[in-house]
Structure 1
């Protein structure tokens, strides 16, 4: 299923707050922050010429976030960045002067942070990033996880010193619990989803993602013509669409948002013309994308700069995980988690339908950009789905 964007805001200018948070200047600020973090290195840009030939497009480039900052996901860039920026902003207020990013490891900042508690809800990856940011700056951290989050992912979060709180229900239930308890106890919610009256911190999280986009644009041999990006609440999709629209203007690539068929909150919102919450009666293997209501900020951005919305089934996502793990005709192998290969699954689905190819101009000259948003963040699940352990994937 592919739904073209016909919303009234389509092709309207971005809201000024969104443009400020996700433009080039904001991305440069994130780059400066990363210069002060250990382990910072650009993630690979991988070309897949054999897959491109099979799908009948000119080229496919995948930004592989599977090793980002030791967390194995693009979300390493968002939550940690937001936590440290929040601490620096509070320090600036307390001390009556601007506190620069170069001071974030100081004893004074650590003392201030030690009296703070940050919290969030997570499917796994965002919680690890928030926990890591809290550990780096010396803050306390409590992470709420829902019933579907695996013990392996909980242990990965706890390794950064966070306390784990289990919540019955789904991701949206954990978001509600985190917000309620934080309000009662004076904690700071560092969420990657937004709602009415809560946008500043999600903007910071999304701003962190722009670092990978700057890297990507520097590594691509030419501007992309098409982009397929997966979405849960919509953060990485909206950040990518917004940044590319600000960089390329009217020459921006055709942008398609790809969701699990079982959790297509953005597609159904686009169909309805307003944010809707979709039923959560069927789980999806794409655990990091199992979200049932869009982020307000992401929705506002995507109504203006996304060109189409589509869904893929679990078996289609798993098939692309396997294709990336066991490439043919000389393509390099990529370890993609169950939500990492969803953009490629969307591309493959459209490429196999002549009418859809014609509708979006996907031809033999197309240059397609994708993001492998995560590696094998749950190795046991990866082995179950792909048939081999992630460390055995080579090439």
Structure 2
């Protein structure tokens, strides 16, 4: 396979839609209307209660776990598993022999743990010392094994890679790098359902957003949304990728013309505090005609407080898109045809 093929993102989003619609706990997340400063109406995709995990990542790792098990079962047994078959004793007995490993600074680890538990598999999550102990407790509630690895997120990622290399576990990361791209594409494929849910709503109303703000850590959510929007939205908006000033790796990569690190201090946008981009996500964003906006720690905190005060409790990470919108208002000079959209990606920690 050519390297250019390995980084190309071409999701089967209809497969993802079919998968989730077969899940008992799946419902379309709300698309709300809130007021930004100056009385501007904004559309808000509310991911704060997604499938009981409280974040969009409930759509990523659990879907990838299912896809991996389905693929392995088909290779060994020659059978295509249905959602109903996934619950049968023989399939769950096989799943019980499989372990999924990742590093996490937040919601991805919860997704891996929840996805593994739902199908009878095992999860082992590597956490850096910067992660609160309360998060480890949340992971253990899903029967995940927690391993404290390193002082910062990058070190826990390295530990998870070493773990998978030295055991029979499967590395299920949400980032991509040379030689590791295919599994995270399944994670991103799961995210595509968010854009598809919104497309159906906007197509029915005939009123489409003019600007869409997409927060990014390694870039998986932003790239999945950008791909789907450019693929099949009837009216094309301006796409703004939002990153912390302390971790603007996608913007740095865009400026450098190649995937690049962006080192900085620890950010209060913990789920976006990623210093190195997913190469698949970055290449996807580069073909999707996006612009980049960074926000400060104070701007993100103010955004979280503002959104929470509007009745949608969230974090600086979850409200980053809203923060970028507010920051840009004086430069955009919005008129009556300005119809922004933000994603509130997670509820309170």
Q: TM-score range by the shorter chain?
A: over 0.9
Q: Distance in 1 between matches of 2:83 and 2:73?
A: 11
What's the CA shift string for 1:88-115, capped at 9, x where partnerless? 1101011023223332111121011111
Q: Distance in 2 between matches of 1:16 and 1:272?
A: 21
- Residue aligning to 2:322: 344
Does the CA contact (< 8 Å) of 1:142 and 1:162 recur in 2?
yes
Structure 2: state its 5+ residue gaps.
Answer: none
Q: Distance in 1 between matches of 2:336 and 2:288?
A: 24
The number of equivalent residue pairs is 343
Please state if 1:365 is matched with 2:343: no
Structure 1: state its 5+ residue gaps.
Answer: 1-13, 328-332, 379-395
What's the CA shift string for 1:326-355, capped at 9, x where partnerless? 23xxxxx211122110001001111123xx
Secondary structure in structure 2 of the residue aligned to 1:305: coil
Q: Distance in 2 between matches of 1:87 and 1:345?
A: 39
Q: Distance in 2 between matches of 1:335 and 1:217?
A: 25
- Residue aligning to 1:229: 214
- Residue aligning to 2:304: 321
Q: Which of 22, 28, 31 matches 1:36?
A: 22
Q: Distance in 2 between matches of 1:293 and 1:16?
A: 18
Q: Which of 210, 226, 239 matches 1:241?
A: 226
CA RMSD of aligned residues (A): 1.8
Secondary structure in structure 2 of the residue aligned to 1:40: coil
Q: Which of 178, 182, 185 matches 1:200?
A: 182
Does the CA contact (< 8 Å) of 1:117 and 1:188 recur in 2?
yes
- Residue aligning to 1:130: 112
Using a 3 Å threshold, how does the CA distance of structure 1 residues 185 and 15 change in structure 2: closer, same or farther? closer
Q: Distance in 2 between matches of 1:292 and 1:286?
A: 12
Deviation, structure 1 residue 15? 6.9
For normalisation by structure 2, the TM-score amounts to 0.93
- Residue aligning to 1:269: 253
- Residue aligning to 2:313: 335
For normalisation by structure 1, the TM-score amounts to 0.83
Please state if 1:94 is matched with 2:71: no
Using a 3 Å threshold, how does the CA distance of structure 1 residues 52 and 60 change in structure 2: closer, same or farther? farther
